Amino acid sequence: MSELGTVTFGLLLIAAAVGGAAVLTWFERRLLGIWQDRYGPDRLGPLGIGQVVADMLKLLTKDDWVPPFSDRFVFVFAPTAIVVAMLLGFAVVPFAPQLYVLDINIGLLFFLGMTSLAVYSVLLGGLASNNKYALLGGLRSAAQMVSYEVFMGLSLMGVVMLTGSFSLRAIVEAQRDLWYCVPQVLGLFTFLIAGIAESHRLPFDLPEAEHELTAGFHTEYGGMKFAMFMLGEYLGLILISCMITTLFFGGWLGPWLPPLLWFCLKTFALICFFVLLRGAIPRPRYDQLMTLGWKYMLPLTLLNLVLTGALALLLEGQRHV
Amino acid sequence: MFSALRSQLRTLWTILQHTFSRAETVPYPEQQPYLAPRYRGRIVLTNDPDGQERCVACNLCAVACPVDCIALQQGVKQDGRWYPEFFRINFSRCILCGMCEEACPTNAIQLTPDFEMCEYERSSMVYEKEHLQIDGTGKYHDYSFYRVAGLAIAGKDKGEAQNEAPPVDVKSLLP
């Protein structure tokens, strides 16, 4: 792609991602409604899609208040960080053979780095609020990051091993014969769980935990700053879905339909699955979360790593014979 | 570990099956919910079968009311009937508990299946007697207090009520 084309596509991508996140707030509520035998927001516009506009107007007209007891600079900076980090994460996602902003040979590492940066936002937000609940939320977020970040990266090493590259386009191309969700089923499972924990989605939304910590790290936030946190969360959800599609479900690969459509369909299905997780599974206790991370997920990931290594060596050996 | 995983997966499957079950929600303004005849909504004052007001202003409803939202003043008509000179219910206080209806000895005060009483001004929630009084008999069509009560009114003397024996002349020795 030309320089201009890349820039245009980048801007379009930002618009699409932010717009998608906004629509997702409504879509998630409708979907949860269906699964909980109710309607959800269905009053404004066709199917209630006007709810997105109404929510946005409401948030925009709210008082943009910074608590006098907070650390002002960090308080304002925190919600921006999560959105910026998540949007940067989108840069390496290959949507179709020629549709991407950035194709670097360490795309996967770049993605992992960006999602890890997003944790800072939650941490700093909780710390800068100077509020007990917010601090507890930030604390939980830090502990969650430590437990889940470890095997999040490791769970993807199987994919890298089979492909032999960190480039996301190479990873998709390597899945032409067989999607990695089959040989890397353990990796998929662990990455899925780490991904939920990373984006603070419901089964692992302990930093937020409405009914124990009021709203956790964003207790003191309101108006557009709160909206930024929400935007960041939904962007994270989309990003994780995109990454799972790319790494385990063959990215744009698929018969008959155009590549971009295949990518969007797979991502959409994964988003629906994440919403289903939110609708079905209760939040674990704090120590249960840590136990799951350290005692089950990490060994499982290491086992996957060893098995994949053996498999890769075996295939290598057969090729040489 | 594995049983926990199975339990989680079963939960997911159960919730997924709800995709095809109907929503329980009643989309209210378009679709009115069914309200039972004895639903406790807006309070009315009812009439006798012969069209005269039932309320005898005994004040029992005002006493029974836990939030003290009923105010009334008793008067006596020419024919001996008792009636409320004014009868006022402050619906912004009323909790629609129905205790006034239970306390009422004449079935005059009754709750109806209507709860749509939104107003923009609080003073509009204070209902006077002319707002409360309805023409019908409400839930009890045959009951008339003065036909069974011992009180003498014009056209019905002592001892003429239903199931009432004529008064005994305590100064006479004759049976």
Q: Three-state SS across chain A? A: CCHHHHHHHHHHHHHHHHHHHHHHHHHHHHHHHHHCCCCCCCCCCHHHCHHHHHHHHHHHCCCCCCCCCCCHHHHHHHHHHHHHHHHHHHHHCCCECCECCCCCCCHHHHHHHHHHHHHHHHHHHHHHCCCHHHHHHHHHHHHHHHHHHHHHHHHHHHHHHHHCCCCHHHHHHCCCCCCCCCCCHHHHHHHHHHHHHHCCCHHHCCCCCHHHHCCHHHCCCCHHHHHHHHHHHHHHHHHHHHHHHHHHCCCCCCCCCCHHHHHHHHHHHHHHHHHHHHHHCCCCCHHHHHHHHHHHHHHHHHHHHHHHHHHHHHHHHHHHC
Mutation target among A30, A32, A36 for the B interface, most CBs of B within 10 A = A36
Q: Is the pLDDT of residue A270 over 70?
A: yes
Distance of alpha carbon A196 from alpha carbon A281, whole angstroms: 12
Top-confidence range, A143-157, A228-242, B58-72:
B58-72
Instruction: Please judge whether A281 and B25 are an interchain contact, meaning their C-beta atoms are less than 8 angstroms apart.
Output: no
Report the range out of A104-118, A157-171, A284-298, B104-118 with the highest average pLDDT.
B104-118
- The β-bridge partners of A96 are A99
How is residue B53 annotated by DSSP?
B
- Mean of per-residue pLDDT scores for chain A: 84
Give the residue from chain B lying closest to A41, CA to CA.
B27
Pick the closest to residue A232 from A125, A31, A81 (CA basis).
A81
Work out the number of other CB atoms within 10 angstroms of the CB of residue B112. Answer: 18
Taking an 8 Å cut-off on Cβ atoms, the answer to whether A36 and B18 are in contact is yes
Task: Locate the chain B residue with the closest alpha carbon to A42.
Answer: B27
Whether A35 sits inside 8 A of B22 (CB atoms) is no
pTM over 0.80: no
Q: Does B147 score more than 90 pLDDT? A: no
Size of interface A-B (CB pairs under 8 A): 36
* A39–B11 CB contact, under 8 Å: no
Is the pLDDT score of A217 beyond 80? no
The arithmetic mean of pLDDT across residues A193-199, rounded, is: 84
> Which two three-digit tokens encode residue B40?
């406790």
Ramachandran class of B112: left when φ > 0, alpha when ψ lies in -120 to 50, beta otherwise: beta
Here the ipTM equals 0.72
Which of B2, B13, B16, B26 to probe by mutation at the A interface, max A CB count within 10 Å? Answer: B16
pLDDT for A185: 84
Q: Output the CA angle A259-A262-A267, nearest 5 degrees.
A: 130
Measured CB to CB, residues of chain A less than 8 Å from chain B are: 33-39, 42, 276-277, 279-281, 296
pLDDT of residue A1: 60
Residues A195-212 have a mean pLDDT of 76
Cβ atoms of B165 and B159 closer than 8 Å: yes
> In chain B, which residues have their Cβ closer than 8 Å to the Cβ of A37?
18, 21-25
Instruction: Compute the distance between CA of residue A34 and CA of residue A216 in angstroms, rounded to an integer.
Output: 28
Are residues A280 and B19, on separate chains, in Cβ contact within 8 Å? no
Higher pLDDT, B47 or B165: B47
Averaged pLDDT, B106-122: 90
Tell me what the pLDDT averaged over chain B comes to.
88
Identify which of B11, B15, B25 has the shortest CB distance to residue A38. Answer: B25
What is the predicted pLDDT for the residue at A169?
82
Question: Residue B44's pLDDT is what?
Answer: 92
> In the predicted model, what is the mean pLDDT of residues A165-184?
81
Measure Cα distances from A22 to A51, A55, A233, B108 in Å: 10, 9, 11, 56
Q: Say what the pLDDT of residue B127 is.
A: 92
Q: How many CB atoms lie within 10 A of CB B10?
A: 11
Q: What percent of chain B has pLDDT over 70?
A: 100
Output A210 or B105, whichever has higher pLDDT: B105
Tell me the chain A residues in contact with residue B12 when contact means C-beta distances shorter than 8 Å. Answer: 276-277, 280-281
Q: Is residue B63 scored above 90 in pLDDT?
A: yes
Of A35, A39, A277, the CB nearest to B18: A35
Contact list in A for residue B16 (CB cut-off 8 A) is: 35, 276, 280
Residue among A34, A39, A276 minimizing CB distance to B12: A276
Chain A residues with beta carbon closer than 8 angstroms to that of B22: 37
**What is the band of A141 on the pLDDT scale with cuts at 50, 70, 90?**
confident
Q: Is the pLDDT of residue A287 over 90?
A: no
B23 and A38 within 8 Å at the Cβ level: the answer is yes
pLDDT over 90 (residue B60): yes
pLDDT value for A321: 66
For residues B46-55, give the mean pLDDT: 88
Place of tokens 């709860």: B115
Q: What is the pLDDT of residue B65?
A: 92
Q: What is the predicted pLDDT for the residue at B71?
A: 92
Per-residue pLDDT at A75: 87
Q: A157 pLDDT exceeds 90? A: no
A280–B11 C-beta distance less than 8 A: yes
Chain A positions touching B23 (Cβ under 8 A) are 33-34, 37-39
Give the range among A200-204, B8-12, B35-39, B145-149 with minimum mean pLDDT: A200-204
B12–A33: do the CB atoms touch at under 8 Å? no
